[in-house]
């Protein structure tokens, strides 16, 4: 995929969305597209008729019916990020929940509520109140462009809902949309004052508990100078309390919250996208990273992390391998039989780090939901995705969050620097010298019906033994080795350990091609060519 000439540069006026038109379309536009849950909730745009008031009301009502049918009596934590559509969608959801007399907990003083915070609050409540289980709704399209909106449901386990749950909510929501069924609502001003709605401080308990996950005392004592770019996201007002409580020399380099994200530099394809794993989207922080010992950023709902170390943005896979290596060597209270989770499109270096530590790997399809049970019962020490999302256990081996946590992953970079005296990119250099260097890429292209059908038609049984990129195909999989779950695409492994995979995105209309070569950049290029030919010839 070519790089747009404007990539990494400030967004020009013509790239900015008309916020007034977007919000107007949310309230007045037709729901021309159905509700469709991907890997992390329903996402769409009011401009396209795929995310508006009718969608949010229907999904919220379906969620109410699901939790009622499941005998849920505890509170529902309602969170949101800073996207333009998140505020009106938050209001719609609260109106429906209040009308149904669902006990709702919102953040005090209308503070934003990031994904990991909602997961943490659900788990904390359920640990103390086993008979009145809580769950949550989070209004966010994650790192998606400013015109998008999103809504996702986290059951009592605190993590992303599994397919059985999301299918039920999706089907019921679409039934409501098709039938034109009226969804009962309480006007927003009345909903805020309804007896079933409570405002609570989300910030203080989360900030306090962070010290149980990351050794923040070590970070304080190291004197590290840290720079943080919240990318205008929902965690923007969490960093000052974190710095104050734990005595960190931490500066928030950009405190702006703009629902149009006009301050962003454009992503690789010339689109405003708050992807903290992209050097183009993170260009502003990278530019000033030299003013700090370590710098990092997060996406709008704070379930992803981006680590700037040594003046450059670390490849997400490199940081995941570095984090796993560090945690397995610096968490003496973790059980020795805990496994390490990764998605099958994450780097093979993670496999080697885990094996080198004498631990067991758990490899799954894309989607953090696969890590939830293990993180919940403490049998999974870490769960990570190549797209820069991960979480791990507290230092004592108990559960932290069962959804991705950008806070703990970024602060872990500070802990490992404080305790080893080396920056994350320096630690990774040692790992690559020990386990071998790789070249990794992910290429997103437009998803067409032809390419989708061509991928689905591939027969993995016919691929082993074929020659690709100078190697024999050693195996091909449509199911993950860790749990035998369908991967939604195809992964092909070569004889030397190199691999590539293709799958439709679960969050955007994109075809994703992943490839990792152990034979250098030229082999990587050949693998990409082979992957594309494989689809075009099918």
For the domain covering 439-537, report its CATH number.
Answer: 3.30.310.50
Compute the distance between CA of residue 387 and CA of residue 482 in angstroms, rounded to an integer: 19
Q: What is the pLDDT of residues 430-454, one digit of tens each?
A: 999 999 999 999 888 887 777 788 8
pLDDT tier, 456 (very low <50, low <70, confident <90, very high otherwise): confident
Indicate if the pLDDT at residue 111 is higher than 60: yes
- 482-517 pLDDT per residue, tens: 999 999 899 999 999 999 999 987 666 788 999 999
Which pLDDT belongs to residue 538?
46
Catalytic member of 40, 45, 86, 142: 142
Q: Is the dihedral of CA 210, 213, 214, 218 positive or negative?
A: positive
- pLDDT computed for residue 483 by the predictor: 94
pLDDT at 83 over 80: yes
Please check the confidence at residue 537 and state whether its pLDDT lies above 60: no
Look at residue 125 and tell me whether its pLDDT is greater than 90: yes
pTM, to two decimals: 0.95
- Residue 63 structure tokens: 């969620």
Q: pLDDT tens digit string along 340-398?
A: 999 999 999 999 999 999 999 999 999 999 999 999 999 999 999 999 999 999 999 99
Domain ranges of the chain: 13-205, 439-537
The Cβ-side half-sphere exposure at 394, using a 13 Å CA radius, reads: 14
pLDDT at 208: 98
The proportion of the chain whose per-residue pLDDT surpasses 90, expressed as a percent, equals 90
Contact, 93 vs 61, CB < 8 A?
no
Residue 86 near residue 26, CB atoms below 8 Å: no
- CATH fold of 13-205, please? Alpha-D-Glucose-1,6-Bisphosphate; Chain A, domain 3 (3.40.120)
Tokens, residue 62: 């379906």
Max CA separation in the chain (angstroms):
68
- Over the chain, what is the mean pLDDT? 95
CA-to-CA distance for 317 and 435, rounded, in angstroms?
14
Which pLDDT score, from 0 to 100, does residue 157 have?
Answer: 97
CA 220 to chain centre: 28
What is the distance between the alpha carbons of residues 188 and 106, in angstroms, rounded to a whole number? Answer: 13
Our answer to whether residue 142 is catalytic in this structure is yes
Closest CA to 90 of 101, 104, 103, 100: 104
Tokens linked to 245:
């409580």
Residues 6 or more apart from 282 whose CB is under 8 A from it? 229, 265, 276, 297, 306, 308, 313
pLDDT at 40 over 90: no
């Amino acid at each position: 995929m070519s790089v747009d000439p404007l990539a990494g540069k400030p967004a020009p006026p013509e790239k900015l969305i008309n916020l007034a038109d977007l919000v107007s379309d949310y309230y007045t536009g037709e729901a021309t597209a159905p509700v469709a849950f991907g890997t992390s909730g329903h996402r769409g745009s009011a401009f396209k008729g795929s995310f508006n008031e009718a969608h949010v009301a229907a999904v919220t009502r379906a969620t109410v019916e699901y939790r009622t049918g499941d005998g849920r009596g505890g509170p529902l934590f309602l969170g949101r990020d800073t996207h333009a559509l998140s505020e009106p969608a938050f209001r719609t959801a609260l109106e429906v929940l209040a009308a149904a007399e669902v006990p709702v907990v919102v953040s005090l003083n209308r503070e934003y509520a990031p994904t990991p915070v909602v997961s943490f609050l659900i788990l904390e409540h359920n640990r103390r109140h086993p008979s009145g289980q809580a769950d949550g709704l989070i209004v966010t399209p994650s790192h998606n462009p400013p015109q998008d909106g999103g809504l996702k449901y986290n059951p009592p386990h605190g993590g992303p809902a599994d397919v059985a749950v999301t299918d039920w909510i999706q089907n019921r929501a679409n039934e409501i949309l098709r039938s034109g069924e009226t969804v009962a609502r309480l006007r927003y001003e009345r909903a805020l004052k309804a007896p079933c709605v409570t405002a609570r401080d989300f910030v203080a308990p989360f900030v306090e508990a962070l010290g149980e996950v990351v050794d923040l005392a070590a970070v304080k004592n190291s004197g590290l100078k840290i720079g943080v770019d919240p990318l205008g996201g929902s965690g923007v007002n969490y960093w000052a309390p974190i710095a104050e409580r734990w005595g960190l020399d931490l500066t928030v380099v950009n405190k702006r919250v703009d629902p149009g994200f006009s301050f962003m530099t454009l992503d690789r394809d010339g689109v405003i996208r708050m992807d903290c794993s992209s050097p183009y989207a993170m260009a502003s922080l990278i530019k000033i990273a030299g003013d700090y010992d370590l710098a990092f950023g997060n996406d709008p709902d704070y379930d992803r992390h981006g680590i700037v170390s040594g003046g450059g943005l670390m490849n997400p896979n490199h940081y995941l391998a570095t984090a796993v290596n560090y945690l397995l060597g610096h968490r003496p209270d973790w059980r020795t039989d805990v496994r390490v989770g990764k998605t099958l499109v994450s780097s093979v270096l993670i496999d080697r780090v885990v094996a080198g530590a004498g631990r067991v790997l758990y490899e799954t399809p894309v989607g953090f939901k696969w890590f939830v049970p293990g993180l919940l019962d403490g049998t999974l020490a870490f769960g990570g995705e190549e797209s820069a999302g991960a979480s791990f256990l507290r230092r004592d081996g108990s559960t932290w969050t069962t959804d991705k946590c950008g806070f703990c992953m970024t602060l872990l970079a500070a802990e490992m620097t404080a305790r080893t005296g080396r920056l994350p990119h320096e630690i990774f250099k040692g790992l690559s010298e020990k386990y071998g260097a790789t070249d990794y890429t992910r290429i997103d292209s437009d998803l067409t019906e032809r390419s989708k059908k061509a991928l689905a038609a591939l027969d993995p049984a016919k691929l082993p033994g074929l020659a690709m990129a100078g190697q024999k195909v050693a195996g091909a999989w449509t199911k993950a080795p860790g749990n035998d779950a369908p991967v939604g695409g195809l992964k092909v492994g070569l004889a030397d350990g190199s691999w590539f995979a293709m799958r439709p995105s679960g969050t955007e209309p994109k075809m994703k091609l992943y490839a990792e070569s152990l034979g250098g950049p030229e082999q990587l290029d050949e693998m990409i060519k082979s992957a594309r030919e494989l689809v075009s010839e099918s």
